[in-house]
Amino acid sequence: MSLLTVRDLSVEFDTRDGLVRAVNGVSFDLDAGQALALLGESGSGKSVTLRAILGLHGHARTRVAGEVVVKGRDVNRLDERARQGLRGGVVSMVFQEPMTALDPVYTIGAQIVETLLQHRDLDRDAARRRARELLDLVQVPSPERCLASYPHEISGGMRQRAMIAIALACEPELLLADEPTTALDVTVQAQILWLLRDLQKRLGLAVIFVTHDLGVAAEIADAAAVMYAGRIVEQAPIRELFQRPAHPYTEGLMQATVRRGQKGQALVPIPGAPPNLAALPPGCAFAPRCARVRDECVAAPPAVHTVGPGHLARCHLVPERFGRPRTEPLSIAVNLDQGGSA
């Protein structure tokens, strides 16, 4: 049994502008010890998917459908108390911006200790010793000083390491990382990526890493799922995805990314803008921006086609381009067995 199974997950937000379909029929599996990257532009549904896995969406103006099964338990069928039991101890999350995720009026040490007291049977002294060990684990150079510091008193890189320490405090089996390097400079970003990959290997964590940076995905992931307009439009082992992208959107992301040896050459941006999720078109959502668009792309949504082993793409042109007419069910299952870090 997979550690995480997501089936036909949909998340809709009831807004003044109408019903926003942020996630539409997303399906994938994740085994223990594997790393999956969710790729795509801002607004493609990556972060909403992560929050749905933890059951963080409120019920007032949000509709969540489908299954999110963590170790055999469907998060969407649990009450809030049972969900709290999963959070931290089984599934934990590193949020995108530590300055807003951390509480500014409590020290780093107090926030780690609070997490341990909430989820582990420890007294305060034991929790503080464990907090010190966690900062050592994430390679904070002055752990005692960090424990006594408030978030605004330490650097962005140290805040991110503290966030990772809090996420690892209760020894989770699945770590959700929501663009944890976005606000960091390039040098610190590389350090955090290396740290996450090292921790994932040493602790045997399963990781879902959200990013719009293909270079980041290549560093940390075994496989990738590319999201557009709330759907997974392509998934493959990470090396296969880079060597043979099958969806025009994936190709566009790669052409718009700075690569080695590209000095003096212009980047090729994807024209247009992502679609309005409150008014999705009847056909392929990427059709208005696609250079290969045909009448069938506008008229009907594409099925999911097999490109190769473990490689699926949701595009009308796949059979013609790759000579594989066989189609898969509309829900994409991310199979990481073919993985391999690039």
93-147: pLDDT as tens digits: 998 878 888 999 999 999 999 999 988 888 999 999 999 999 999 989 999 999 9
Question: How much is the pTM?
Answer: 0.87
Q: Which two tokens stand for residue 160?
A: 């991110």
Contact of 128 with 109, CB cutoff 8 Å:
yes
Half-sphere exposure of 91 (CA within 13 A, CB side): 26
**Residues near 216 by beta carbon (within 8 Å), at least 6 away in sequence:** 37, 181, 189, 193, 209
| Contacts of residue 317, Cβ cutoff 8 Å, sequence gap at least 6 | 248, 292, 294
Q: pLDDT digits over 312-329, tens only? A: 999 999 998 887 444 444
The domain over range 1-83+184-261+268-342 is classified in CATH as 3.40.50.300: yes
Taking all residues of the chain, what is their mean pLDDT, rounded to a whole number? Answer: 87
Distance CA 318, CA 303 (A): 10
Tens digits of per-residue pLDDT, 45-104? 999 999 999 999 888 889 999 999 999 999 999 988 888 888 888 999 998 878 888 999
| 224 three-state secondary structure | strand
150-177 pLDDT, tens digit per residue, is 999 999 889 989 999 999 998 899 999 9
- Measure the CA–CA gap between 51 and 67, rounded to whole angstroms: 14
Q: Which amino acid is at 100?
A: T
* Pairing outcome for strands 18-30 and 4-15: antiparallel
Residue 59 has a pLDDT of 80
Structural domain spans, the chain? 1-83+184-261+268-342, 91-171
- Give the DSSP letter of residue 267: P
Going through the chain in order, the beta strands assigned E by DSSP cover 4-15, 18-30, 35-39, 62-70, 73-74, 91-94, 174-178, 206-211, 223-228, 231-237, 304-308, 311-314, 327-328
Least confident of 192-196, 264-268, 297-301: 264-268
The DSSP line for 184-219 is S-HHHHHHHHHHHHHHHHHHT-EEEEEES-HHHHHH
Judged on CB neighbours under 10 Å (0-12, 13-18, 19+), 262 is exposed
